[in-house]
Amino acid sequence: MLIFGGALVSLLLVPLCCERYRIALRQHWAQAALGALGIRIEADLAHLAPGVLVVANHVSWVDILVINAAMPAAFVAKEELRHWPLIGWLAEKNDTVFLRRGSRGHAKIINRQIADLLGKGKRVAVFPEGTTTDGRSLLHFHAALIQPALAVGRPVLPLAISYWEPNGERSLAPRYDGDISLGQCTKAILQRRRIIARLVSTPLRGLHGEDRKQVAAEAREAIALAAGLPLVSNRPEISGDLPDERQSDALPTNSPNRVPADLV
């Protein structure tokens, strides 16, 4: 129903609105969806700026709603999503950048699209872990995702996402990793009385000519500190769809083999 509601709003109102109001509609829909799920946002966005590449850790499909509710952004999604009934159309109406797997030539086009959005002052959000975790650790950050911003001189904003129970304990309900299905994840969220989604922005990176690996390492460290997570981790178990970091023009996709977070 939430997706249908978003599609209906997009169909009836978005074509009639200017860019400013389209962004506002997207933000209000994300806020309404989170309200229906019982998720409340606590956001520290002191370092937010226009035209930044938002680099965030990835816990759940609701990450996209949380980011859009607090600071609307475009997202990178796999090409297959474009052809999904309703969801693909809705994603296309919301500045989603679609990546074709295994095509370096297409990755160059995607890089230019991301750079163009950043140049227009829009935010683009990526999940450099390439897949989701249970929210208690960080995976390796794939630096290739950061290259488009650095190539055009745009800053990188590390953003920490964490989920908490009202009693102050870290919540595992939103986790969408391993064999957990979309239905199981959603059911776990709805069974909680309230979940707090905490967003913490950290100082901008990539402002002084650093290379992408240095920026990725600094962003990962900043996110770990802001989310209270350990830095020790292993590389993702599923890496077949992720690019070789030696390739400067490739970008990974999110959460393979599942309904992606890039729904809005």
> pLDDT tens across 219-238, in order?
999 999 999 999 875 454 44
CA-CA distance, 199 to 66, in Å (whole number)? 8
60 confidence band (pLDDT: 50, 70, 90): very high
**How open is the CA angle 73-77-83, to the nearest 5 degrees?**
120
**How open is the CA angle 21-25-30, to the nearest 5 degrees?**
150
Rg (CA), the chain: 17
Closest by CA to 175, choosing from 163, 166, 191, is 163
| Structure tokens, 224 | 């770990």
CA-CA distance, 21 to 23, in Å (whole number)? 5
Chain centroid to CA 22: 19
Domains by residue range for the chain, with CATH: 2-227 (3.40.1130)
Residue 262 pLDDT exceeds 50: no
Give per-residue pLDDT as tens, 63-82: 999 999 999 999 887 777 67
Name every residue whose Cβ is closer than 8 Å to that of residue 112 and which is 6 or more positions away in sequence: none
CA-CA distance, 181 to 259, in Å (whole number)? 9
